[in-house]
Structure 1
């Protein structure tokens, strides 16, 4: 009779204990199984932990249907019970760095994260201040110094620390309050109620919020808002080499994912010629006769940009250990043609839910009339028509120069070379190859 009741008693007691001391029970059960001889159970001292005082250890038996030892079956049931218990775990914070160059559609793509809702803290081009401060008298920056500064500022911002960025804002903030944060209005988080300080009549803020009247930005409140959000995203067009960001990927406090946005270099140049006055040399070369001087500084600068983008992409696509699972290459052309699909892909990569707010914003801002999408900096566009619009504004001779100095980059990203002006403007010929970017 004692054996008849001992097995149920052991099982019930084990289920009670498993709630509080799961690890101990698992270890004891493992010892029991390891110490069993073929037909005899000789572990009374260990098993006694699970029995009432003065209760004897039962003889060893096999299950009548499965021929498995009874205590082995019991251990399995305990493990199954334990594995199905709910475990409360704080959702992991995600850190997204959108890397691009100017006129690649990065402001548009950045909105995919800016529109995420209350759980996302998004910053638009905070490195603008760093570049401005470090720009040399003759133009440009010291590459190594600026790269280190960019990395350190990004690292602190992902940790919701604005102190280092403050040192690059001109004029310097007073008591952590500034009226000069670049494009503040491009971050919904910096114009939210929790960060919107009272508006004072007469105060001038260059980059003021557009949706509501807010006073100068209190960076202490911004840091508090950042810490209250589950995820953080930053968009930047100023990082030249991906490998300079390795310390961010290896920082145990962060879980950084790099989304690398690229675009056809011919389209990028065509857009810059429209948007920026400093590209007047390219405009002149496109309209006058004669060849473009390939040794000109502007042409060399274009080649350097293409090389930097290609080398960064090659690093990412090789998936070195420090970047494994952290790098995603996305072509702007694919986003423009399939915005909802590519946005969903980016969210899957980031490990975040693709929210209805983002879907709604994409639906509203990718199917608009040409009049609505006419602004140089507009975030609205008819994506399918916009993607190759550059082909009808860029002179063929300029396209040839880009193809000559950026050919390896064009090849890596799957952009077709044009051999004639007719081919350039032929809508029936796509210049975008179908390409999946896996490891090289």
Structure 2
């Protein structure tokens, strides 16, 4: 969360033949008790099978596991329907884009609509661990590709602080940073062990050619180049429409949006914004918790206010 995943997801959403889903696991939250349901839902979705999803959403919401806004997943049989351009254009579901939509969507029709796309794409933040995807990789019916987006934890925590702090609440960095770093550490270690011998993870041929890690900072600095890499990784042709969308959504004027959930950003300004939001003490707390991760991901540590404020000093 707050890693730039919405922008990365839009690179797929803008493609006219990709069935994009914005956080289809939202209704399950990040609870350990819902891990099996998250996996089952993601496995079904990867095969364009939506028949079991309504029941699973309903059980999650009724069981009190769902976060805010998840009731809409139950009402529509689909989470964040307004975020999926492919879905909105299908006349079996809507008369015109987002007008006259037949909700709740029939899961059989949803499955058929998905099957008319080149493939489905899911943006997932509720299921945090790479190893949970291995059973899907083992399914010969699915040619899964995994894009693992990471971001400087200082920037992630700064963004969460900006979003979740208000007049009555101050986001506690110290109380939240360990979960972020531990999850990131677990995934980095698992990725390191994919093709080499590690004590805790067996190397697996399943991941060969199916895993790609991206840093948000590289996406921001080289959006067109990285977008082409991503499209090549999943076997999509790079459409000029996508290039225009990227140019419009990453130029400096885009930074004027006040919506903290917008995908329009001055992309290079977004990389260093955390330096104006975090104090030195907050920065040091995050660095101490994520020291090994930051080293492996090539982020530079700072130790004084001068370096924090020196925007000419590149930290990634």
Q: What's the TM-score once normalised by structure 2's chain length?
A: 0.85
Q: Is the contact made by 1:365 and 1:381 (CA closer than 8 Å) also made in structure 2?
A: yes
Describe the superposition over 1:104-162 as per-residue Cα deviations: whole angstroms up to 9, x where unpaired: 01011100111111x2111110100122xxxxxxxx62x2x422221111110111111
Q: CA deviation at 1:195?
A: 4.1
Q: Is the contact made by 2:301 and 2:315 (CA closer than 8 Å) also made in structure 1?
A: yes
Tell me: higher relative CO, structure 1 or 2? Use CA pairs within 8 A at least 6 residues apart.
Answer: 2
| Aligned pairs for 1:36-185 within 5 A | 102-117=1-16, 119-131=17-29, 141=31, 143=32, 145-170=33-58, 178-179=75-76, 181-185=78-82
Q: CA deviation at 1:305?
A: 2.0
Which residue number corresponds to residue 187 of structure 2?
312
State how far apart, in whole Å, the 1-side matches of 2:298 and 2:255 are. Answer: 31
How many residues in Structure 1 have an aligned counterpart in Structure 2?
293
Structure 1 residue corresponding to 2:256, chosen from 369, 372, 389:
372
Q: Is the contact made by 1:317 and 1:327 (CA closer than 8 Å) also made in structure 2?
A: no
Q: Secondary structure at the match of 2:256?
A: coil
Q: CA deviation at 1:362?
A: 0.8
Q: CA deviation at 1:301?
A: 4.1
Structure 2 residue corresponding to 1:196, chosen from 93, 97, 104:
93
Structure 2 residue corresponding to 1:233, chosen from 117, 121, 126:
121
Describe the superposition over 1:207-242 as per-residue Cα deviations: whole angstroms up to 9, x where unpaired: xx7x64534242332211101112221111112211
CA change 1:337–1:371 in 2 (3 A) is: closer
Q: CA deviation at 1:264?
A: 0.6
Which residue number corresponds to residue 221 of structure 1?
109
Q: Is the contact made by 1:249 and 1:322 (CA closer than 8 Å) also made in structure 2?
A: yes
Q: Is the contact made by 2:300 and 2:315 (CA closer than 8 Å) also made in structure 1?
A: yes
Which residue number corresponds to residue 421 of structure 1?
305
Q: Secondary structure at the match of 1:169?
A: helix
| Aligned pairs for 1:405-420 within 5 A | 405-420=289-304
User: CA RMSD of the aligned region, Å?
Assistant: 2.4
Describe the superposition over 1:276-310 as per-residue Cα deviations: whole angstroms up to 9, x where unpaired: 24994446xxxxxxxxxxxxxx6354213212112
Answer with 1 or 2: which has the greater Rg.
1
Structure 2 residue corresponding to 1:260, chosen from 141, 145, 148:
148
State how far apart, in whole Å, the 1-side matches of 2:238 and 2:53 are. Answer: 30
Q: Secondary structure at the match of 1:398?
A: helix
CA change 1:310–1:238 in 2 (3 A) is: same
User: Structure 2 stretches of 5 or more lacking a match?
Assistant: 63-72, 195-202
CA change 1:313–1:227 in 2 (3 A) is: same
Q: Secondary structure at the match of 2:145?
A: strand
Q: Secondary structure at the match of 2:57?
A: coil
Q: What's the TM-score once normalised by structure 1's chain length?
A: 0.62
Q: Is the contact made by 2:28 and 2:37 (CA closer than 8 Å) also made in structure 1?
A: yes
State how far apart, in whole Å, the 1-side matches of 2:255 and 2:142 are. Answer: 42
CA change 1:365–1:273 in 2 (3 A) is: same
State how far apart, in whole Å, the 1-side matches of 2:94 and 2:12 are. Answer: 24
State how far apart, in whole Å, the 2-side matches of 1:428 and 1:177 are. Answer: 49
